[in-house]
Amino acid sequence: MGGRPYMGIPREKIPWSPTIDEEKCIGCGDCLEVCPNGVYLLDEAAGKMNVANPGNCVVLCDKC
């Protein structure tokens, strides 16, 4: 999935993706639950979230 275009610009041309503050992440999964685009993935071994599919993130989405 390449993500949705923003104002006619292909998502893969937009140099932005969400980041996770490793020190603050407690692995609760809230971001995973609210994201409708499959951006996040839980690393169960580490108990932390990862940005697995940054290109799926929708510009100006207000979910996370």
What's this model's pTM, rounded to 2 decimal places? 0.75
Asked if the structure places residue 6 within a domain, the reply is: no
Total number of residues shown for the chain: 64
pLDDT at residue 41, as a whole number: 95
CA-closest candidate to residue 39, choices 19, 22, 9, 25: 19
pLDDT at residue 38, as a whole number: 93
Per-block mean pLDDT, blocks of 10 residues, the chain (64 long)? 76 84 91 93 92 87 82
pLDDT at residue 52, as a whole number: 94
In terms of residue numbers, what domain contains 24?
Answer: 11-56
Asked if the structure places residue 27 within a domain, the reply is: yes
Asked if the structure places residue 5 within a domain, the reply is: no
The tally of domains found in the chain comes to: 1
Q: Tell me the CA distances in angstroms from 44 to 6, 15, 60, one per residue in order.
A: 33, 28, 29
